Structure 1
Amino acid sequence: MLPKAARLRNRADFSATMRGRRAARGAVVVHLKQGDGAHGARAGFVVSKAVGGAVVRNRVKRRLRHLVAERLPAWTPGTDVVVRALPLAAERGYAELAADLDAAIALARKPRERRG
C-alpha cells in the first residue's frame, strides 16, 4: 500500500498532474509531472467504470497501487504520476500490467523530440 504522503488525494493535484507529460502503453496511460522537489514522489489512480464492475475495478486498482509502490522509491522527489487504467487492464495479468506501466513511465520521462 502507498504511504499517505505518497498519494495524490485532491482535485487540484490530479488536475495539475494531468496537464503534464502523457504516455500510453498497452492497458495504461501515465500522466507525469516533475515538480520542485518540495514533497516526495506521489501517485494517483483513475479506474473508470469502463474497466468493469466494482470487483474488477478494485482488483485493477490494487494491482496498479502495488506496482507503483514498488517503483516509487526510485522516482525523484517532486514527481507526481497519475495512472489511468484502460478497459484492457481488466484482462491483463500482473506481469503484463507491470510491463505496460514500466513502458509508459519510461516513455513519459523521455525528452520530447522536436518536429522539424
Structure 2
Amino acid sequence: MARTVGNAVVRNTTRRRLRHLMRPHLDRLPAGSLLVVRANPRAGAARPDELAADLESALDRLLRPASKGRR
C-alpha cells in the first residue's frame, strides 16, 4: 500500500479493512483469478461503509459481462 494512503497505522488499518471486506466476495471471482486491490489516498480516511460501497462498486464493474461494441 502506498504511503499516500497515510502513515503506517492508517495503511495497516486500511489493508485489514479491505482484506475483511473482500473475503465474502472471493466466491464471485472465476476460479484461478488473481485480483489486486489498490487503495487510493482517500481510502485511509474513508468510513468503513464508504470503503465497502466503493469495493462492491468496483467488483460489480469488474465482473459485469462485457457489452457488445465494448472491447
Using the size of structure 1 for normalisation, the TM-score is 0.54
Cα deviations across residues 51-77 of structure 1 (Å, max 9, x unaligned)? 010000000000001011121133331
The answer as to 2:20 corresponding to 1:62 is no
Aligned CA distance change for structure 1 residues 95 and 49 (closer, same or farther; 3 Å): same
Q: 1:1-116 counterparts in 2 under 5 A?
A: 47-110=1-64, 111=66, 114=69
Quick one: distance in 1 between partners of 2:54 and 2:2?
A: 18
Q: 1:10-44 CA deviation, whole Å, 9 max, x = no partner? A: xxxxxxxxxxxxxxxxxxxxxxxxxxxxxxxxxxx
- Go from structure 1 to structure 2 and tell me whether the alpha carbon gap of 1:113 and 1:83 turns closer, same or farther (over 3 Å shift): farther
For residues 62 and 88 of structure 1, the distance between their equivalents in structure 2, rounded to whole angstroms, comes to 16
Would you tell me which structure has more helix in proportion to its own residues?
Answer: 2
Query: Structure 2: any 5+ residue segments left out of the alignment?
Result: none
Percent identity, aligned pairs only?
Answer: 42
User: How many angstroms apart in 1 are the aligned matches of 2:9 and 2:54?
Assistant: 21
Q: CA deviation at 1:109?
A: 1.9
Normalized per residue, the structure richer in strand is 1
Higher relative contact order (CA 8 A, sep 6+): 2
What CA distance in whole angstroms lies between the structure 1 residues aligned with 2:29 and 2:23?
11
